[in-house]
Amino acid sequence: MVVPLLKLQDLIEEIRRAKTQAQEREVIQKECAHIRASFRDGDPLQRHRQLAKLLYVHMLGYPAHFGQMECLKLIASPRFTDKRVGYLGAMLLLDERHDAHLLITNSIKNDLSQGIQPVQGLALCTLSTMGSAEMCRDLATEVEKLLLQPSPYVRKKAILTAVHMIRKVPELSDIFLPPCAKLLHERHHGILLGTITLIMELCERSPAALRHFRKVVPQLVQILRMLVTTGYSTEHSISGVSDPFLQVQILRLLRILGRNHEESSETMNDLLAQVATNTDTSRNAGNAVLFETVLTIMDIRSAAGLRVLAVNILGRFLLNSDKNIRYVALTSLLRLVQSDHSVVQRHRPTVVECLRETDASLSRRALELSLALVNSSNVRAMTQELQAFLESCPLDLRADCASGILLAAERLAPTKRWHIDTILHVLITAGAHVRDDAVANLTQLIGGAQELHAYSVCRLYSALAEDISQQPLVQVAAWCIGEYGDLLLEGSCEEVEPLQVEEEEVLALLEKVLQSQMSLPATRGYALTALMKLSTRLRGDNNRIRQVVSIYGSCLDVELQQRAVEYNTLFRKYDHMRAAILEKMPLVERGGPQVDEEAKESKEAVQVSKAAASVPTEPQASKLLDLLDLLDDTSEDAQHPPPLDPSPGGTLVHLLDLPCALPPPAPIPNLKVFEREGVQLNLSFTRPPGSPALLLVTVTTTNSSEGDVTHFICQAAVPKSFQLQLQAPSGNTVPAWGGLPITQLFRILNPNKAPLRLKLRLTYNHLGQSVQEIFEVNNLPVETWQ
């Protein structure tokens, strides 16, 4: 019994009538069985109908690979109805991964040489869709001949096929250079658009083509001028703009040709000014042309007045009601802020207004641009605006905003008191979102500002009394109260409202911090140490402090328990030394205490190594980062480096403890160790004076691409004979277009002066992809370890 075959329309209706996915699968499986049987029968009249149904099944996501060979048969057929379905099937079912795609090369070659325009169009569409590198090399000559065919229909498709060929096989550029110059004289807009796209591909992939097409810049300028000055045309005008697609593509090509070329840039300056001033911006088509004009002005060597005009256009975009236009304006201004900072500053009020946008992407871009606009002249006003934004910004922006404010205050603070007030405001507002080094930076700043000790402790005590949930704020406040609690009790600060504080109130507040469920173990450690220091600063009895300290001698947290036990021992056995041990921290210079402390440790390590002449001691697990699972140094020299014999002069200096006047060390050259898709990693090196075994490596990550780098993590490892300490990075996001970079400090202790090797592991998200790179750096300058 012969089963009647369904038509394509009947199959579509039957599939749509299926109420469940199981019913749909049943219908499709049954029809696929009929299609296979028809293919086996080999009926040429039914083959294209069956393949059309199979392509519909493929579009629904079901397997249809058994129809690949039928596509080849239909393409070889002389009938146009067969060829049409066969070529469509080849575009959908075949790609470079299947060897069967090479079998249609001869059929495409024959169809291109037939002279029948519809067939040539089908063959060109298929070649531009799934043509492999081998097919492009074999058919490049036929496509070149079709570029100059009299039919615009064939020429347009041949140009787009040539674009695909250049992308697949860049060495074919020389074949398509001569026809492009002739095609620029065409009046047909579609052919012109395709030709300019082809020239762009040639210029981006071949320096010789770039030099060749710089000669046609005057011709491109003339074409664009005609488009701008031409009146309304029903065939090409969109919203009153004459063929905006062609204008945008010409501007992109001019941007490529004028980049880093003075003569070409000079030729197009007048035209760009004309386009920028005459384009209608009431519709989106005009805004698109205007935005491409701005990008072209920014990229070429344009005149200063033209760049000011471009920035003003972007400033007008910020006032547009369309969020997309405001977003591209903010992104473009962020690119310009490095080169034209003073010009972008004129639009600072508008940029600040964009911080209040409800759209998260707009407010993030506005935040990045606002931080980039902060300088010494506007730091007070901009910081005030950013602090107001910090109070109401979304949670996912608080970390970036707080980090940006702290960095700006550190670089541009006009006074120490303003700097302290700014950090305090950030800690009060968003303490849970600040960087890990914020506590250390503020304590160091307060410690170095002797005239502000009373002011700082009063401010911090008041803030702590109101809120103990912000852990960084609590840690700084506990440290400051422990150091300068006597000033708090004296009430000697005249710069704030009079504050009368009793000893019992201070102790009760610190006990509240210790007992709070919100307090981290580190915060309790700060509070316990503060109580211990207050035992030497308060005039009353210390029994209450001793009781609190003794309670934590049995704490579950090991570090807190150890502190409490040591403090109890200090009370019981060494009470006569307590005042000297718990005296105030000495004053340190801003930016130098950590380096000095590390230098002292390295000096002691070198002396111990010289005296013992043995392998260096292992670093403490609490201070140094052990990443030896990333880099396992099995070299015998690295494991057991020979001891360095001290010179007689150096020994005499150590014995007499006299200063030794050494010449300043030569600067160590920077080193670029990684670059991928605009993301670049640079290393800079510093050797602190007086500590030859210590090397400070600053890792700077920049991003010149068009997409943000997020969730950036940099890890490092060194051989076992070294000691490595990684400081917290300045952030984990690098904005696009040269935004604020990420910096991170490595401290490497090399007491034996062995050759230095680094192994780095980078993980980040960029342009929608997750990237992980592991590589070794062996070409470090000799000055880093000698």
Closest CA to 738 of 341, 212, 203, 397: 341
Cβ–Cβ < 8 Å for 330, 373: no
Six-digit token string for 406: 């702290």
For 524-534, b/e burial (b = at least 16 CB within 10 A) is bbbbbbbbbbb
588 versus 576: which is more confidently predicted? Answer: 576
Distance, CA of 229 to CA of 331 (rounded, Å) = 30
pLDDT at 495: 61
Closest CA to 461 of 476, 443, 445: 476
pLDDT at 115: 81
| Interval 193-211: pLDDT, tens | 999 999 999 998 888 899 9
Q: Beta strand 769-777 with 758-766: parallel, antiparallel or unpaired? A: antiparallel
- Residue 696: enclosing H or E segment and its boundaries? strand 694-703
pLDDT at 642: 43
Residue 316 has pLDDT above 50, yes or no: yes
| Interval 622-635: pLDDT, tens | 333 344 344 444 43
Residue 692 has pLDDT above 70, yes or no: yes
Cβ–Cβ < 8 Å for 387, 358: no
Strand-by-strand arrangement of the 769-777 sheet = 709-717, 758-766, 769-777
pLDDT at 740: 84
| Interval 327-361: pLDDT, tens | 999 999 988 888 888 888 989 999 999 988 888 89
| Interval 136-172: pLDDT, tens | 999 999 999 999 888 889 999 999 999 999 999 988 8
Residue 43 has pLDDT above 90, yes or no: no
Count other Cβ atoms within 10 Å, centred on residue 630.
15
Distance, CA of 247 to CA of 292 (rounded, Å) = 9
715: three-class secondary structure by DSSP: strand
Mean pLDDT over 477-485 rounds to 90
Six-digit token string for 181: 């110059």
Closest CA to 203 of 190, 217, 191: 217
- Which residues touch 428 (CB under 8 Å, ≥6 apart)? 463, 467, 470, 473
Distances (CA, A) of 393 to 145, 364, 366, 774: 61, 10, 12, 36
N-to-C CA span, the chain: 92
pLDDT at 492: 66
pLDDT at 296: 92
| Interval 5-40: pLDDT, tens | 788 899 999 999 999 999 999 999 999 999 988 888
Phi then psi dihedrals of residue 149, to 5 deg: -70, 150
Closest CA to 317 of 278, 359, 288, 352: 288
Q: Indicate the pLDDT class of residue 663, thresholds 50, 70 and 90.
A: low
Cβ–Cβ < 8 Å for 219, 228: no
φ/ψ region of 281 (left if φ > 0, alpha if ψ in -120 to 50, else beta) reads alpha
What is the average pLDDT score of the chain? Answer: 83
pLDDT at 659: 41
Q: Which of 68-72, 93-97, 202-206, 755-759 has the lowest mean pLDDT?
A: 93-97
Query: Hey, which residues does 237 pair with through a beta bridge?
Result: 242
Residue 97 has pLDDT above 60, yes or no: yes
460: amino acid identity, one letter: L
| Interval 371-408: pLDDT, tens | 999 998 999 999 999 999 998 888 888 889 999 999 99
540 versus 481: which is more confidently predicted? Answer: 481
Q: Which of 268-277, 279-288, 583-592, 608-617 has the lowest mean pLDDT?
A: 608-617
Closest CA to 506 of 437, 445, 450, 460: 460
For 310-319, b/e burial (b = at least 16 CB within 10 A) is bbebbbebbe
Distance, CA of 281 to CA of 273 (rounded, Å) = 15
> What are the start-end ranges of the H helices in 346-394?
348-353, 360-373, 379-392
Distance, CA of 764 to CA of 542 (rounded, Å) = 52
Six-digit token string for 741: 């970079």
Six-digit token string for 241: 């703009």
CA–CA–CA angle 356, 362, 366 (5° rounding): 70
Q: Indicate the pLDDT class of residue 4, thresholds 50, 70 and 90.
A: low
Q: Indicate the pLDDT class of residue 784, thresholds 50, 70 and 90.
A: confident
Residue 453 has pLDDT above 80, yes or no: yes
pLDDT at 231: 63
Residue 611 has pLDDT above 80, yes or no: no
Count other Cβ atoms within 10 Å, centred on residue 556.
8
pLDDT at 613: 35
737 versus 245: which is more confidently predicted? Answer: 245
- Residue 675: enclosing H or E segment and its boundaries? strand 671-676
492 versus 173: which is more confidently predicted? Answer: 173
Q: Indicate the pLDDT class of residue 222, thresholds 50, 70 and 90.
A: very high
Mean pLDDT over 43-47 rounds to 83
Is this prediction's pTM over 0.95?
no
pLDDT at 5: 73
pLDDT at 163: 94
Six-digit token string for 598: 């590390």
pLDDT at 731: 84
Mean pLDDT over 443-448 rounds to 87
pLDDT at 633: 43
